[in-house]
Each structure stands twice: as structure tokens, then as C-alpha cells.
Amino acid sequence: MVSLSVLNTEQQNPNTRHIDKMQTLDILKAINNEDKLVAAAVEKALPQVAVLVDKAFERLMDGGRIIYVGAGTSGRLGVLDASECPPTYGVPPTLFSGVIAGGPEALVRSVEGAEDSKEMAVNDLKAVTIGPKDTVIGLAASGRTPYVIGALEYAKKIGALTGAVSAVENAAVSAAADVGIEAVTGPEVIMGSTRMKAGTMQKLVVNMISTSLMVKYGKVYDNLMIDVAPSNEKLVKRACKIIMLAAGCTEEEAAEHLDHSGSNVKLAVCMALSNKDKPSCEDMLAANRGNVSKTIHALKHGAVE
């Protein structure tokens, strides 16, 4: 196992020496200056992100799922991204999952020693019954977390696609994965506090992965969340605005279509564009395998009867 002392995430940052003696605004500027480096690090890793997305999408279309695996901050970020996909894109909660070392308790407090167990990772993946159609993405800022490596090794053994996201070069998790994403963010503002730049990097990358997959999956029309679940007042208003923009109708008409669709935004848009009833629009969507974007484009160009 790689020693922590040689990892760039564990080095002392020369730009933030004496931060303990700075005034508040100077502390904030120092943090902000380091944060500016994160997007550039992610940009360098985009080709690898694209490879993982394309490979994962093939499996997604064959009935597969996306499972993020991590410990500590990395695990929490995976769970966060997975939990936000269903309300945003109207997908089943099982399509994206987050597995964190130590279980649900680790979401709110540290579970000591959990990240060091490969066996625990295998048991946790068995609990969510991963299969060869699934994609398992390991998140590890240091690139060396045994829990994540164990998960990737097990996933690869059963034929699942594996990806790894880390903040260091030549990461051990990359060696354990089919696709390694290494966005090198350098020493942290506070030495070893990888919830900062490394955490921000991981948040950016998992957002990219899930968002691009949902775009390719047909859950977006133009740049609208066309399959959003209007589960609260804010989201109902957002749903009406989406219907207005996609179908070119008034707010009152959008609300009426949303009501007649059973609060199903994609159906409401299809009904508004086609002037057809809910069952007919459901058939249109089924003909396009639920791809909202293809259905709406076809409707707008007169390709759907």
C-alpha cells in the first residue's frame, strides 16, 4: 500500500502557510485561490470521464445501474449524487445507488476503521446485489482506500464495469478499475483535509457522470429537466415553467396539462404539443423507449402520429 507521506493530497501547501495568523478575509481568499485550481484539474481528466460515461451508458441501456462506493467524504458525495437523481430525472431510486463504508451511520459521523476493510466492501456490494450489467464507481481522494479497492476488485470479478475517481496520480484504485479518473488537485489548504479541494473535485466529477448519463438517457429536452418529479410546491412551479418553455404555452395551460397528466411533466409536454390524450402520449413515449427528448423532437417535427 502506498504511504500517505508521498501522496500530494498529504503534502503541506506552501500557499497557505501561516493561515493561522491571517485575518478572516485573507483566510477566505487563500481558500478561494486554491478552489480555483479544481476545475482545471477536472478539465485534464475529462477524456477519462467521457470513456467511463460511454461505457456505463451502454450498460445502463441494457438494464444496468450505477453504484458509487466510498468512505468518509467520498462515500457521502456518492450517496448525495445518487439520492438526487430520482427527483431530478424521474428515475427509480435503484438506478443510482451510493454505498458508504460503515453504512448509513457514516453519513453523519465517522465510523472508525470502516474504510480499511475490503471484506466489508464485498458484503456491502452483495447486499445491493450488483451484477455484470452494473457499473461500480469507486471514490477515493487518496486513491488508496482499502474499502474502495475491495469493492472494485469484487465488482470486476463478477463482470461489472468499474471506474475510479481519485485526486492523485498512479492511484491504486485506478489500477483496480477498468477506467481510472485522476484529477490531481494538489495539497489541501489544511494539510490532509481532503474534504476540501479533493472533495470539490469528486462532487464535480460525479455530477458530470450522472448528468451526462441522464442527458444521453433522454431525461433532458434542450437543457430542461423534462422528467422532474413535482413532489413539492417549488418543483410544481418549476414543472409548469418547464412545460411552458418546452411546449410554448401559457402558465395556465401548463398547469392544466400537468393536472391532466397526473403530475407527469414529460406526459404534460407531449400532450401540449400533440393535443392528444394521456394514453396516446404514453404510447408515444413507449415507442421511443421512454426517451423524452426523442419523443418531443419527433412531435415538433411531425414524425409521430
Residues annotated as catalytic (active site), given as ranges: 84, 115
Whole-angstrom distance, CA of residue 235 vs CA of residue 14: 45
Residue with cell 455484470: 132
Q: What are phi and psi of 69, to 5 degrees?
A: -130, 135
Whole-angstrom distance, CA of residue 302 vs CA of residue 104: 49
Give the amino acid at 207. Answer: N
Look at residues 71, 129, 65, 63 and name the one whose alpha carbon lies nearest to residue 99.
71
Look at residues 33, 302, 56 and name the one whose alpha carbon lies nearest to residue 163.
56
Whole-angstrom distance, CA of residue 184 vs CA of residue 40: 9
Whole-angstrom distance, CA of residue 123 vs CA of residue 146: 14
Lookup: cell for 198:
479533493
Task: Region of 155 please: left (phi>0), alpha (psi -120 to 50) or beta.
Answer: alpha
Give the amino acid at 169. Answer: E
- For 192, residues 6+ apart whose C-beta sits below 8 A from its C-beta are 4, 9, 10
Could you tell me where the DSSP H helices lie in 90-196? 118-127, 146-157, 172-175
Whole-angstrom distance, CA of residue 45 vs CA of residue 85: 23
- For 283, residues 6+ apart whose C-beta sits below 8 A from its C-beta are none
